[in-house]
A and B are shown apart, each in its own frame.
Chain A
């Protein structure tokens, strides 16, 4: 039973790894579908927490996020198996490309396909944001934080670590020092 559940984590995260095109944020639509809706291993809010923590930690955001979910499910073995599952598909695909197709990225069909995929990723991200919005922007203070961070991260070259740590500090200041108003 135990091994079977670990195997399920491994296979599910390998699927997430295989279906994520682009940066770490492109993983979110797949994660919402596979982990939140289908398996119900984590909530939208937990995914956001893990993603935020992973952004200010060393390492690969996607691997760390999946290791968090694996850890929540099955402890330390879950974290290790989850992280390994995430890297399996890229490991196979990149090794094959490095061995066979050195000019892979120059093939016109590949370029056209990925121009199409990028459009799809935009729409999927937009849908993800709508879902995440509900569990993160719960009041006016959150809305203000959201607006400030969005604008600042677009116009200024500031590390995400600063935004995450800064907004956590603001959250603590408002919730713990500013009385109990909601």
Chain B
């Protein structure tokens, strides 16, 4: 029965969380209080693991909670549960969109929405840059301006930028090769300082 319950609880999370993985967090805290399936500390642990593994945070959380609660069947039930509402809505929306694709109102909406979408991606990128290329906390603690720069990270970023924008031979490398190489550089030069 716990399998069905897991499916149902994560179906609800999938239905009500709008705006990405982080939006599932308040629901998970709520579920933890309600069911005692997992603790608040486990949510924090999972968030750390999610950020260190591929895949969307919402999916990772569902899989982890499902597994710790009811093993592999539990991880399947929770993960399927969290994606079903979204996929159902996608099918519904595209059915409507296909009919009105060339409607001037729909075209107008997309005209305005595209730059906003690019803008949201840009601000997400700026936030990632802030935590991975700079030490804002160290600057605030010391007040020394030069301490704000994470020189190792900035050097790697500069090399990657040149490889992807400037050098013809490496311009079209698959992103995953660059990600793997960066992971190795991170370990060799202990980027996290541990």
Contact = CB atoms under 8 A, between A and B. Distances in A.
Given A22-B51, A114-B52, A176-B104, A68 B114 contact: no
Interface in B111-128: 111-128
B112 A160 contact: no
B113 A93 contact: no
Contact of A94 (B51, B55, B90): B55
B119 A19 contact: no
B112 A60 contact: no
Interface string A28-63: 111001000000000001001101111111111111
Contacts of A115: 132, 153, 186, 191-192
B35 interface: no
B67 A146 contact: no
Contacts of A84: 83
A81 B58 CA distance: 19
Nearest to A19: B176
Nearest to A65: B90
A133 interface: yes
Interface in A1-31: 17-25, 28-30
A129 B127 CA distance: 14
B83 A83 contact: yes
A19 B175 contact: yes
B131 interface: yes
B59 A59 contact: no
A112 B186 contact: yes
Which DSSP category, helix, strand, loop or mixed, fits chain A's interface? helix
A164 B117 contact: yes
A145 B178 CA distance: 32
Interface in B149-194: 153, 156-157, 160-161, 164-165, 174-176, 178-179, 181-187, 189-192, 194
B2 interface: no
B136 interface: no
B109 interface: yes
B4 interface: no
A163 B45 CA distance: 31
A57 to B, nearest CB: 5
A116 to B, nearest CB: 2
A59 B175 contact: no
Interface in A151-175: 153-154, 159-161, 163-164, 166-175
Interface in B13-54: 14-22, 45, 48-49, 51-54
A135 B185 CA distance: 34
Nearest to A106: B48
B55 A168 contact: no
B161 to A, nearest CB: 5
Contact of B161 (A97, A126, A143): A126
Contacts of A24: 20-21, 56
A112 to B, nearest CB: 5
B125 A125 contact: yes
Contacts of B58: 59-60
A21 B179 contact: yes
Interface of A: 17-25, 28-30, 33, 45, 48-49, 51-64, 67-68, 71-72, 76, 79-80, 83-84, 86-87, 89-91, 93-95, 97-99, 102, 104-105, 108-129, 132-133, 135-137, 142-143, 145-150, 153-154, 159-161, 163-164, 166-176
7 contacts: A60-B20, A64-B86, A64-B87, A71-B90, A94-B53, A149-B123, A176-B104
